[in-house]
Structure 1
Amino acid sequence: MALLSNEAIQLLGQQLKRHEGIEYKPYHCTAGKLTIGIGRNIDDLGISEDEAFYLLNNDIKRVEQEVSNNISFLDELSDNRKIALLNMAFNLGISRLMKFKNMLSALQQHDYQTAAKEMLNSRWARQVGRRAEELAKQMEAG
């Protein structure tokens, strides 16, 4: 049973926002704790699994939009190849993904074997290891 009514929870939320402020990037509060949002102490509390997946879903939507805006032939790819690209964009950011010119050119030509090789022939692949190997296989197999 909830301690407060929904109306009271709304009032408390408005009051806390007024007192705590709202920060969209992490900062250190006066007690030195890493904090975000409306007073969320992430040093001590962290986030819940539900919150992590809420953030992930928002990030996936953002990455989908960025990739869609920058890769004109995206609709020609299978879902598994799109997933590989989105995974890379999530990891690298769209600007660094767009530097994979040879890979993108091979993808546009439906040369998935070359695209996979280009993925592996990169500093990114050396940094992320198994992730790159898995995504390259996924890209090639479709």
Structure 2
Amino acid sequence: MNITLLEAELRRDEGTKYSPYIDSTGNQTIGVGRNMKANPIPKDWTFPLTDAQVNQLLAEDIQTACASLDRFLPWATAR
């Protein structure tokens, strides 16, 4: 999997927001499409987020999604 390409596509499709906003489904969201209710950010972070914080959240989200794929659909990431 090309993580760099995946990140670029997510940023293109989701956009990058440094302050919370309500997405099209009514969820409070931040960064690159991160649902703050399902995946809260650290309590000591303030807004607007920094580039480093947004990058950290995106990396965590990608890692979580890939781990779920490996667990539930192992053939999807077979090498």
TM-score normalised over the length of structure 2: 0.51
Ranked by relative contact order (alpha carbons within 8 Å, sequence separation 6 or more), the top structure is 2
Q: Any idea what the Cα deviations from partners look like across 1:5-29, whole Å, max 9, x if unmatched?
A: xxx1111000000000011110000
| 2:3 matched residue in structure 1 | 9
Counting only pairs closer than 5 Å after superposition, residues 125-136 of structure 1 correspond to structure 2 as none
Q: Identity rate of aligned residues, in percent?
A: 39
| Residues 13, 29 of structure 1: alpha-carbon distance in 2 compared, 3 angstrom cutoff | same
Task: Look up the SS of the partner of 1:35 in the other structure.
Answer: strand
1:43 corresponds to? 37
- What runs of 5+ residues in structure 1 fail to find an aligned partner? 57-142
Shift of 1:45: 1.3
1:41-120 aligned within 5 A: 41-47=35-41, 52=42, 55=45
> What is aligned with 2:22?
28
Query: Which has more strand, going by share of residues?
Result: 2
Task: Give the alignment's TM-score, normalised by structure 1.
Answer: 0.29
Aligned residues: 46
Q: More helix by proportion, 1 or 2?
A: 1
CA radius of gyration, larger in: 1
- For 1:34 and 1:41, locate their aligned partners in 2 and report how far apart those are by CA, in whole Å: 6
Structure 1 stretches of 4+ with a deviation exceeding 3 A read 53-56
SS in 2 for 1:16: helix
Structure 2: give runs of 5+ residues left out of the alignment.
Answer: 47-79
Paired with 1:28 and 1:53, the residues of 2 have a C-alpha distance of 19
SS of equivalent to 1:31: coil
The alpha-carbon distance between structure 1 residues 54 and 11, as it changes in their structure 2 partners (threshold 3 A), is farther
How far did residue 46 of structure 1 move?
A: 1.0
